[in-house]
Amino acid sequence: MQHETLPQALEAQARAATGVTLLEASGYERTLPYSALHARALRVLHYLQQHGVEREDEVIICIAGNQAWLEALWACLLGGIVAVPLPPCGNAEQRHRVLGVLGQIERAVLFTERRTLVQLAEHAAGMGERPLVDAARVILVDDITADAGSGRERHARPEDVALIQFSSGSTGEPKGVVLTHANLMANIRGMCTRSGVGAGDSILSWMPLSHDMGLIGLHFLPLALGANQYLMPTDLFARRPMLWLEKASATRSTILASPDFGYRHCLRAMRRKMRCELDLSSVRLIFNGAEPISAAVCAEFATALAPYGLAAHAIYPVYGLAEASLGVAFPEPGTALEVIHAERRHLAVGHAIQARDRATPDTLSLVGVGRSVDGCDIRIADHQGHAVARGHVGHVQIRGDNVTRGYYGRAGLRRDGFRADGWLDTGDLGTWMESLYIVGRAKDTIILNGQNFHAHDLERLCESSACVESGKVACVGARRAPQEAESLVAFVQHRGPPEGFAPVVGRVVAAVADAAGAEVSEVVPVESLPRTASGKLRRSALRQAFEDGEFDAVLGVLRALASASATSRPHALSAIERKLKAICAPFLRGREIAVDDNLIDLGADSLALVEIQMAIDAEYPDLLHIEDFLEYPSIARLASLLERRGAEACLD
């Protein structure tokens, strides 16, 4: 594969019999040979050029429907136009994101549908913003006629910008990764070499085309190879996840891909639909990436689908990010998952991984994602940018032909995250052994009492130990005021009345305290968890909403319910119980405490217990020892113990 640009790759398939098959909810399927895609894209290019779009102009693509979206994208690539791919505006969050990109790339043209334009204008008005865009900056795909001519191709050079990929996890001001044809083609070659994917493969995807995995890994890569590809709408997968596997069986697809949450979504659907008729013996690899990879979910998915012919080692955990075009590290295809069980307390930057033979409550299972793809280098560095020793935790940094030159900026490329020596900090923490292991996102590290915890690890503890449904919990570190220390907040999806949420609070607090020794300050019920188009949790959005006080009302209701429960105790509190309750309250961050509640279950970690013991000792000297909390963990039992020891002291 010697193509230097994406248009060269498409033109090389002009006489190929392969192409893109578009799968629709109605069951209708349409195959678009690569030659037809080329011709239809030129028709769209003609329309854009008629409206004054020229080479190197930026065009924001916001179109529903995979075929129209692809034709618009390739029109831009063939015309030397910089494509800015965005997902269709199916919800308010996506509309807000489009408005943010429009505000950032002020000269860009918006290529969209009339319906979407109306939705964007209404959203902007509802937000109190100025009119969306000048009419001159909007081109409507609805107005393309069947007799449109063929546009003039502008042959791209490898160094030309092909697209600006706005990271799916962007919050606040969007962050656009600028990618050249050379970046993209280098990464496609590197990924093909490491994974062994070739022209004879057949690739099925439900991933959004606006996402780097969906676009580069599951569309550009098979196109460059001349391989067949099948595209399924993302919302159809969300509604009918088993259809993904059914289509894989029917089309004899060899390559699939999904983030971890997609595996969980399929497993839930399989439990509801006990009988399946599938033949997955043709599937060689199922790429797993785009979010932290769960060894347990991989194992469960492989076991559940083994009776349908799925190869034992088909699950293929990978690591990548938009700044690397897509792929950074891939394992050897067809090999078993590499998993290490690392002690949680040794997962800070600079610490050596302490691995155990098996998973225990105080370990985090990390999945190996292989070695770097060709053309991309990886190093694990400390806070100062110096490489750490093998087996130590550090910042994952990359450089190579596939790595972006920077982020879009009004005054030119921004080099956020780049070091003076040319390495780019990915924002992830990891360690290097026989493979690269990703520990977690640096920004999702929660520091409590000087100890590091990783959000995805705490979430899995809640799922395994607190009976929270998989994928329905998010953990963040938040501050109510800048001067406050960070506290741990857990958000759990819950759609019933608040009265039914109290048991969930207790289970989550107890599970995290028991397994990780961390105190959960608040457990917040939410109707749904915000996610990106590819399914990643948007923890930063939850953190911001919490710090802005958006959940204060529901937390007030929960506290009132807890208080009513505490005061329903049949007998009045003794003087010692009242005193102990007042002593304990500040260390449990104002949580309503019933005298029979287990303080450890309420979230009192070892440090909090020491502080409570010292405060009690100031009132009742020499009567209580720290180890007493294990046998007398409630205020009522502590009060009885203090009364007895106080009486014994008086007798002495």
DSSP conformational letter for 215: I
Contact predicate 170/99, CB 8 Å: no
pLDDT tens per residue, range 470-494:
788 999 988 877 656 778 999 999 8
Q: Are 62 and 83 in contact (CB under 8 A)?
A: no
180-221: pLDDT as tens digits: 999 999 999 999 999 999 999 999 999 999 989 999 999 999
Class of domain 569-651: mainly alpha
Q: What is the pLDDT of residue 603?
A: 67
Most confident of 22-31, 130-139, 245-254: 245-254
Q: At residue 167, what are phi and psi to the nearest 5 degrees?
A: -55, 135
According to CATH, the topology of domain 449-565 is GMP Synthetase; Chain A, domain 3 (3.30.300)
Q: Is 479 helix (H, G, I), strand (E, B) or coil?
A: coil
Q: 533: pLDDT confidence band, cut at 50, 70 and 90?
A: low
Domain with CATH 3.30.300.30 in the chain: 449-565
CATH code for the part of the protein at 1-181 = 3.40.50.12780
Residues 635, 637, 641, 647: is their CA dihedral positive or negative?
positive
**492 vs 472: CA distance, rounded Å:** 6
Residue 613 has φ and ψ, to the nearest 5°, of -60, -40
Q: How far, CA to CA in Å, does 41 sit from each of 7, 166, 203, 213? A: 11, 23, 22, 22
Which one-letter DSSP state was computed for residue 236? H
Cβ count within 10 A of residue 544: 15
Residue-wise pLDDT for 102-158, tens only, equals 888 888 999 999 998 888 888 777 776 665 566 668 999 998 887 778 999 999 999
pLDDT tens track for 277-319: 899 999 999 999 877 788 888 999 999 999 999 999 999 999 9
Domain with CATH 3.40.50.12780 in the chain: 1-181, 240-409+425-442
For the entire predicted model, the pTM comes to 0.78
Per-residue pLDDT at 534: 60
Say what the pLDDT of residue 170 is: 37
Could you tell me the end-to-end alpha-carbon distance of the chain, in angstroms, rounded to an integer? Answer: 91
Task: Give the chain's length.
Answer: 652
For residues 571 and 576, the model is more confident at 576
Per-position DSSP letters for 322-352, written without gaps between them? GGGSSEEEE--TTPPPPEEEEEGGG-STTPB
pLDDT for res 135: 67
Matching residue, tokens 């709408």? 233
Q: How much is the mean pLDDT over the chain?
A: 87
Write out the DSSP string of 433-460.
SSSEEEEEEGGGEEEETTEEEEHHHHHH
Structure confidence at residue 85 as a pLDDT band (50, 70, 90): very high
Q: Is 628 left (phi over 0), alpha (psi -120 to 50) or beta?
A: alpha
User: By the 8 A CB rule, do 142 and 97 touch?
Assistant: no
Phi and psi at residue 210, to the nearest 5°: -80, -10
DSSP string, 47-84: HHHHTT--TT-EEEEE-SSHHHHHHHHHHHHHTT-EEE
**Cross-strand bridge partners of residue 46:** none
Which residue would you say has higher pLDDT here, 642 or 319? 319
Whole-angstrom distance, CA of residue 577 vs CA of residue 579? 5
DSSP calls for 188-204: HHHHHHHH---TT-EEE
The predicted pLDDT at position 286 comes to 97
- Tell me the fold of 240-409+425-442: Rossmann fold (3.40.50)
Q: Which 3 state secondary structure label does DSSP give 466?
A: coil
| CA 614 – CA 611 distance, rounded (Å) | 5
> What pLDDT score was predicted for residue 200?
95
Residue 638 has pLDDT above 60, yes or no: yes
